[in-house]
Chain A
Amino acid sequence: MVRTTVVGNYPRIGDTFEEQSLRRAIARFDKGEMSAAELRDAEREVVKAVLREQNDGGIDVVTDGQISWYDSQSHIARRLASVEINGLARYFDTNTYYRQPVVHGAVAWKEPILVDQWKFAQANSKAAVKAVLTGPLTLASLALDKHYRKKKALALDLANALGEEVSALVRAGAVHIQIDEPILTRHPEDLPLAVEGLERIRARKGAAALTLFTYFGEVSKIFEELVETPADAIGLDLVQGAATWSAIAKHGSKKPLVLGLVDARNTKKEDPAEVAKKVLGLKDQINLKASFLSPSNGLEFLPRERAREKLRILSAAARMVGVAG
C-alpha cells in the first residue's frame, strides 16, 4: 500500500576487502597505474553491487547510488559550459565537502551528463532506476558566481541546462526523474525561484514522473506552497525535518509524497513497526498508494552495512503498512 524508494547516493565502499575495490582503484588511478576506462569498469562493478543490494532489499524504485559522482554539485556542474571546479567547501551541516563550481560565463548544457550512467544502471536492475539531478536553485546557491552576480539569472540558466538533461534522460527511457533542492530547507524564501526553475524542467520531462526532494531540514513554513509546485510528487526529510510532519498532518497533500522517515544520518535502527505506524497515521491526509517511503536523504552518510540495514527496515515497514492497510 506504500512503495519504497531511496533518495540518491549510497556508500561506495564497505568494510570488507572486496567492498573496498573502488577505493583501491581510485588510488591506483591517481598514481597513474590505472586508465580512465579501467576506473569506469571498477565503478560499474560497484554500481551493480549497489543495485543488487537495493533489489535484494526490496526497494521499488532505486538509484545507481551516484557511485561515480565526486559530489552532488561538481558532478553535474563540471559538464556544463562556463563552469570550472574549485576547492573544497563544507556541504550543508554534514562533515563532508564538495568541490565548489565556479561560474565564469553563461551556463549551458553541452552534452549528456547522466545518460550513460542511467542506462547502465537500468540495464542491471530489476527495479526501475530513478535519475536524480541536483536542482538549479541548490546548484546556483552553492556555486561561486563570477558572471551573473544574480542568483536568479544563474538558477534559471541552470534550469534550462538541466531541462536539456532531463529531456535526454527521458529519451533514453527514464520514467522517474528527481530534482533535489535541499537548499529550500535553509532558504525557504527562495521557493518561487525553485518553482520557476522547476517549470522549465517540467516542460522537458515528457511522460516521466517528476519528484522534487528537499532534505537536511524542515519545510513546514512553505509546505502548502511546496505541494502546489509543478512536480508530480514531493520528497520530504521527516527526520531532521521532523517539524514538517505536523504540516502534513494539518494540510494533507493531494500530491503523492515521498516520506523520508528512516534516518539516513544516524546508525540507530528504527523499529519497522513504529515507522509503519507513523505512515498509517497519514492515511487520511495523503494517498498512500501513490506515495513512497524512503530514507531521509542519501544513504552515503552511513557505513555500508548500516545502509543495507536501513533498506531492510524500509521494506519491512512498507510491508507492514500494506498488511495493515
Chain B
Amino acid sequence: MTGLLTTSVGSFPKPEYLLRARTKASKGDLSGEGLRALEEKATAEWIHFQEEIGIDIPVDGEQYRGDMATYFAENIDGTEISGLVRSYGNRYYKKPIIVDELRRKGPISVDWFKFAQARTKRPVKGMITGPYTMMDWSFDEFYGSREEACLAFAKLLHQEALSLEAAGAKIVQVDEPALSTRFDELPLLVKAVGTVTKGLRAKTILHTCYGNYNEIFEFFNKLPVDQLDLEMSNSGLDLLDRFKREPLKKEIAFGVVDVHSHVIEPESLIRERIEKALTIFAPEKLYIDPDCGLKTRSVEEAQAKLRNMVAAARAVRDAHRLT
C-alpha cells in the first residue's frame, strides 16, 4: 500500500541574494528582467532541493511573490495596490484595492507553474490565492458587498484554475488563510471555492491556517475540494479526537512542523505526530507537510525542517511497510 506522501504548503524563504535584488528593484536600481532571472534561479534551487530530499509533491516556492493576495491582485484588472498597513509588530504589507470590475488580464501563476514543472518529473502543485481571502484582504471601493466581490474573484480564479490544468497541473491548491475570519460567511466561502474548482479534473486542495478549527469543523466535509490541508502541529493536534468521532470524507494534508518557530523539530517528534495521525486517517489519504508556508523562516531553518519531515515520513512508511 502507498501512503504518507510528502509535500509543502506553498512558500519558501527567499535567499539573501533575492531579498537584496527585490530591494534594488523596488528602488529602480534593477530591471524587471534582472529580478526575474534571480527569481528563476531561486525557484530552480528550491525545486532541486525538494527533489534531493525526496519530497513527493513539490511546490514552486513562490519566490516571485511579495504578498499572496497582492501578487494576484497585481495581475487582475480593476485593482490598485494600497499604501502600507500594519499586520502586527513591525510588519507591514500592501493590500489590494478593488476600484473597478474585476477581470483576469491573463494567466497569473501559470508561467511559474510551467517553469517549476519543467524542472521535475514529480507533480508540482498549481497554487491559487482563494477568492474569499482575496476579498477579505482587499479594500473594496467598487462592489460594496463582500459577497459580490468574493464571487467576482471566484469567477476569474476559476479561469486561472482551468489554465493551470491546461498547462499540465495535476493538483490545484486553493489557499484560504482567511477562512475562519467570519464564521457566518462560511457558506459564502463554500460557494466561492466551489466556483473555482467546478469541473476541474485535477485533484483539488484547500489550505487554511490560524484557525479555530472547532468552530468550523462541521464545514470541513462541505468544502468542495478533494483534500484539506490543515495546520495541525501548532493548533490542531487536539482535534484528532474530533476527527475520530466525525470522520473526514476527504484526504488530509497534515501539518507536522510549526512554521512560526525557530525550533527545528527533531525527526522523532515528527514521527510521533505522524503516528498519531495514522491512528485516525488511512495512510493513502494522509499527506505530510508543514503547517503553512515556510517563508517567514530562514532558508537554513526551512530546509532543516523539511529534511526532518521527509526523514520522519520515510521512517514511519518503513515501519508500516508502506511504499
Contacts and interface: CB of A to CB of B under 8 A. Distances in A.
Interface of A: 11-15, 23, 26-27, 30, 70-71, 87-88, 90, 93, 95-98, 266-268, 300-306
Contacts of B49: none
Nearest to B144: A268
A90 B210 contact: yes
Range of interface residues on chain B?
Answer: 20 to 34
Nearest to A30: B90
Nearest to B137: A95
A266 B82 CA distance: 11
B84 A93 contact: no
Contacts of B82: 267, 303, 306
Nearest to B80: A267
Contacts of B141: 266-268
Q: For B87, B90, B180, B260, which residue has the most chain A Cβ atoms within 10 angstroms? A: B90
Contacts of A300: 85-86
Nearest to A20: B84
A87 B312 CA distance: 27
A312 B208 CA distance: 39
A51 B91 CA distance: 23
Q: For A30, A90, A304, which residue has the most chain B Cβ atoms within 10 angstroms? A: A90
A304 B84 CA distance: 8
Interface of B: 82-90, 92, 97, 136-137, 139-141, 178, 180-182, 210, 260
A23 B97 CA distance: 23
26 contacts: A11-B86, A14-B83, A15-B83, A23-B90, A26-B90, A27-B90, A30-B90, A70-B89, A88-B260, A90-B180, A90-B181, A90-B210, A93-B181, A93-B182, A95-B136, A95-B178, A95-B181, A97-B87, A267-B82, A267-B97, A267-B139, A300-B85, A302-B85, A304-B83, A306-B82, A306-B83
A71 B88 contact: yes
A268 B84 contact: no
A97 B136 CA distance: 15
Contacts of A304: 83-84
Contacts of B87: 95-97
Given A93-B181, A267-B97, A15 B84 contact: yes
A12 B83 contact: no
Nearest to A304: B83
Given A11-B85, A267-B139, A303-B82, 8 more contacts: A15-B84, A93-B182, A95-B137, A96-B88, A266-B141, A267-B82, A301-B85, A302-B85
Contacts of B180: 90
A231 to B, nearest CB: 28
A252 B260 CA distance: 49
Contacts of B88: 70-71, 88, 96-98
A268 B82 CA distance: 11
A303 B84 contact: yes
A158 B312 CA distance: 46
A267 B138 CA distance: 10
Nearest to A87: B260
B71 to A, nearest CB: 16
Contacts of A267: 82, 97, 139, 141
A186 B177 CA distance: 21
Q: For A27, A30, A96, A303, which residue has the most chain B Cβ atoms within 10 angstroms? A: A303
A277 to B, nearest CB: 18
A305 B182 CA distance: 28
